[in-house]
Structure 1
Amino acid sequence: MSNTVVDIWGPASPQARSSFPPAPDAHDEWPLEGGTAWVYHSPLNRRQLIRPVILSDGFSGGSTNLDQLWHGLEENGNYRFISELHATGHDVIILGYHDRTASITANADTAIECIRRAVHERVGNAKLAVGGFSMGGLITRYALAKMENDPGLPDHETATYLSYDTPHQGAWFPVSLQAFTHYATDKWGDVPTLGPVLRQLSGLLNSPAAKEMARWHIGKVDAEPEQAPERLAFLHKLDELGGWPRNVRKIGVANGVRTGTGNGAEAGATAVRCDGETLQDTWLKIQAKGDQIVARLQTAGDEATMVRTSGLPDIDGAPGGLFTMQSPAGDTGSFGLAALLMSLIGNVVDPDVITTSCFIPAISAVASGDINDPQALYRPIAAGDGALDAFHCAGRNEGHTTMTEELGAWIVNEIVAAG
């Protein structure tokens, strides 16, 4: 089971982990308009804020869970990211939000408030490092760019911007999975036991944040996959700010490989299929190029609903950070989540489910290509590609925002090198 920093499905998952070991008491806690910042001073700094590093939470349901974030950052079994930053004399500020499904621009205002507070509280003149995990990297990217462009805002006094498996070029929610979630919600959303879970999942996929992140979105089962108006509006606002903060060194890491090697999910293969009390010959497929039927959805006694796509790339199998869902069954990810829902509504799922798939393509995380381009998805990423000043890709395709020594230590070294 992965201990990721960001739990994509969060409390909406029917097998969500209900509790985590408590995080240590913060040395300071800043109430913010749209969230909370928890300050953990380096032991080397005698409880003074001297070298601040702001780490933003990312996309999930509900409000930030500090215990869960701490667990992913520090108690993940791979790399104690906070301790390593502390050992270099850097203070860590964990930035959380009241609503992680809110629009990126709304949570960016909370990030700006946090940055201003850090600059005000800082002792000395050391520049900040600011960034985030998953969507948190987009939030802070927008926040820093806005601070550079808005004459009413102060200097962000930041030297390094960092992102960790952030969907700079968009995220991928399988169209078949979106369709099945909305379909199941339409059919069983009012059932007392499972209904609330289905409504939460459908609501999560239709939230402002999901619409802004997703490269292809459908709001209901029969909708055409496309960029949501909310995403187009966000990209326009970001473009008006220059796209990126200019007065910082921009670094990022990907939980996917740079070699172009995919995760093994074969385009066109059946990812999950079930039959039973409520569903008949219902299946979801791995996304393939061209004109495709990616899902067949049928309730007992009804006509089948066929979900079609046209012109999409074979992105489920692309190199990149994988969907994860922390559960007793392991990482049930994307199609594994569908399998779980199918069984919960009274059906038998065929064995050999392809449980997970690409969520953040590597070229999106390092901002080196368009995820709508099937060739770019599988092309090796060369040094110097893209908008980041420096980046590092994982040695294997692993769970989205999995903290590893390979990626974590690279970021720590980059922050230290910036001074």
Structure 2
Amino acid sequence: MSTSVVDVWGQLAPQARSSFPPAPEPHDEWPLSGGTAWVYYSPLNRRQLIRPVILSDGFSGGASNLDQLWQGLEENGDFRFVSELHAIGRDVIILGYEDRTASITANADTAIDSIRRAIAERVGQARLTVGGFSMGGLVTRYALAKMEQDPGLPDHETAVHLSYDSPHHGGWLPVSLQAFTHFAADNWGDNPQLGPILRQLSGLLNSPAARQMARWHIAKVGDAPGQAPERVAFLKELDELGGWPRNVRRIGVANGVSTGVGNGIKAGATAVRGDGQTLRDTWLKAQDSGDQIVANLQTVDGRPTPVRTSGLPDIDGAPGGLFTLPSAAGDAGSFGLVAALMALLGNTVDPDVISTSCFIPSISAVAAGDIADSGALYRPITADSSALDAFTCASRNEGHTTMTQELGEWIMNEIAASE
């Protein structure tokens, strides 16, 4: 599986980091309020901004990393996205943020700043393409909608909004994983070596952006999973702006299939189990529907803490982009991350680990259904079910934001046809 464009949950631990070769020197660099835009002109345009394409970074820890973004766009998939955009005369503006965990609305102001700068620098009248990967698709969706509704902002002069495996209807992180992360931070957050990693993980899950995107969120062990207040407020603000930008062609892709065929994870199956120096009979299960104990958390000298859910869909196995994190040993998934943390805490992990899980259901990425509805998750997606003007889905369930030839070529055709 290819390393994804977006390092979904940040650089969490030394063994989960990748070394990214340096990106080519940008032709221009724009300091923005809350971020930076790196500009790569098409060779066809002789160092002039003529047909701008703004590509927004997504959610992760800390500031955007140009080298990492370039690697995902150009080197790690089977499609060289920037080069292909350059070949059709598009100038690429990679939009990064000072804090990728900040609220979507805060980073949308940075996106608006980049759009205004692109219009000011542009030679000619070609309309923009604006979009992003994962959360970047939501940031730019909000930004364009705000520019249409706020009389104090200029026309965005944008023809196409692009979203690449973006959680339009919410993302999924297993409640069992969220609970284990907070449990580990509570119990070993003061460990000199592992404490910073555990606290960072727990903090990422509770960051403003994560709270806005997660369809089910818990802030601490024992919470009932549901939509965080920050998500409810964000959805209300988005709805007040009309939900979507209206004066653009809305296109999107999903890293999951449209057929309704899941990724093979069996609902209710034990995903990871560990015992040893710090844990006793601690396990996490794949999400099932109905009432379920999705995790048992227990220190060696403590009482068991069961984690319960009720009324959630069997979503871990649903069609969609898979949770992946780049590591030296290859991409790790959601439950694979828990297995690694269990081992780092001095425990033996059962070998039959279900490594990954659905992260962005296909129906969320193409805005085609409620991910709380198990039937909708596994139902084939039809063209008339989507809020997008055009979309395509991958031919297999693959890593979230993985750049592939089939998705990349489809986007090229849509952008080329927008003139």
Which bin holds the TM-score, normalised by the shorter protein? over 0.9
For 1:264-343, list aligned pairs within 5 A.
264-343=264-343
Q: 3-state SS of the aligned residue for 2:295?
A: strand
For residues 84-112 of structure 1, give each alpha carbon's deviation from its aligned partner in whole angstroms, at most 9, with x where no partner exists: 00000000000000000000000000000
- d(CA) in 1 for partners of 2:339, 2:185: 15
User: Partner of 1:327: helix, strand, or coil?
Assistant: coil
* C-alpha contact 2:271 2:335 (8 A) present in aligned 1: yes
Match of 1:156, as an amino acid?
H
Which stretch shifts more, 6-15 or 350-359?
6-15
Counterpart-to-counterpart distance in 2, 1:314 and 1:186: 28
Aligned to 1:218: 218
Letter in 1 for 2:304: A
Q: Report the counterpart of residue 140 of structure 2 in structure 1.
A: 140
Task: Report deviation, 1:14.
Answer: 4.6
Secondary structure of the corresponding residue to residue 220 of structure 1: coil
Cα displacement string for residues 352-376 of structure 1 (whole angstroms, at most 9, x for unaligned residues): 1000000000000000000000000
Q: Tell me the residue number matched to 2:174.
A: 174
- Structure 1 alignment gaps of length 5 or more: none
| Correspondence list, 1:371-382, <5 A | 371-382=371-382
Match of 2:407 in 1: 407
How far 1:329 sits from its partner (Å)?
2.8
Q: Deviations over 1:260-283 (max 9, x none)?
A: 000011000000001101100000
The within-5 A match list for 1:42-191 is: 42-191=42-191
TM-score of the aligned structures, taking structure 1 as reference length: 0.99
* Counterpart AA for 2:192: P
Aligned 8 A contact 2:136 2:166 in 1: yes
- Corresponding letter in the other structure for 1:397: N
Match of 2:357 in 1: 357
Whole-angstrom CA distance in 2 between matches of 1:36 and 1:401: 21
What TM-score, normalized by structure 2, do the two folds share? 0.99
Deviation at 1:11, TM superposition (A): 1.1
Question: How many residues of Structure 1 are paired with residues of Structure 2 in the alignment?
Answer: 419
Preserved contact between residue 26 and residue 39 of structure 2 (Cα < 8 Å):
yes
Q: Secondary structure at the residue paired with 1:54?
A: strand
Partner SS state of residue 283, structure 1? strand
Q: Could you tell me which amino acid in structure 2 is paired with residue 52 of structure 1? A: P
For residue 383 of structure 1, report the CA deviation from its aligned partner.
1.8
Structure 2: unaligned runs, 5 residues or longer: none
**Cα shift readout 1:18-68 (whole Å, capped 9, x = no counterpart):** 531100000000000100000000000000000000000001111000000
Aligned residue for 1:261? 261
Contact 1:331 1:355 in 2 (8 A): no
Instruction: Give 1:119 shift.
Output: 0.4
Question: Residue 153 of structure 2 aligns to a residue in which SS?
Answer: coil
1:128 and 1:159 in contact (8 A); partners too: yes
SS class of match (1:10): coil
After TM superposition, give the deviation of residue 17 of structure 1 in Å.
Answer: 2.2
Instruction: Give how far 1:384 is off.
Output: 2.5
Pairwise CA distance, 1:192: 0.3
**Of 5-14 and 369-378, the range deviating more from structure 2:** 5-14
SS at match of 1:113: helix
Identical-residue share of aligned pairs (%): 77
Query: For the residues of structure 2 that align with 1:247 and 1:141, how far apart are their CA atoms?
Result: 12
* Equivalence for 1:417: 417
Structure-2 change in CA distance of 1:77 and 1:215 (3 Å): closer
2:235 alignment partner in structure 1: 235
Please state how far the C-alpha of 1:15 moved relative to its aligned partner: 2.1
User: Contact conserved, 1:10 with 1:16, CA < 8 A, in 2?
Assistant: no
| SS of alignment partner, residue 295 of structure 1 | strand
Counterpart Cα distance in 1 of 2:349 and 2:329: 14
Q: Is the 8 A contact 2:5 2:73 kept in 1?
A: yes
Q: CA RMSD in A?
A: 0.7
The question of whether the paired residues in 2 share the 8 Å contact of 1:256 and 1:321 is answered with: yes
Between the aligned partners of 1:344 and 1:90, the Cα distance in structure 2 is: 46
Given that 2:363 and 2:370 are in contact with CA atoms closer than 8 Å, whether structure 1 keeps it comes out as yes
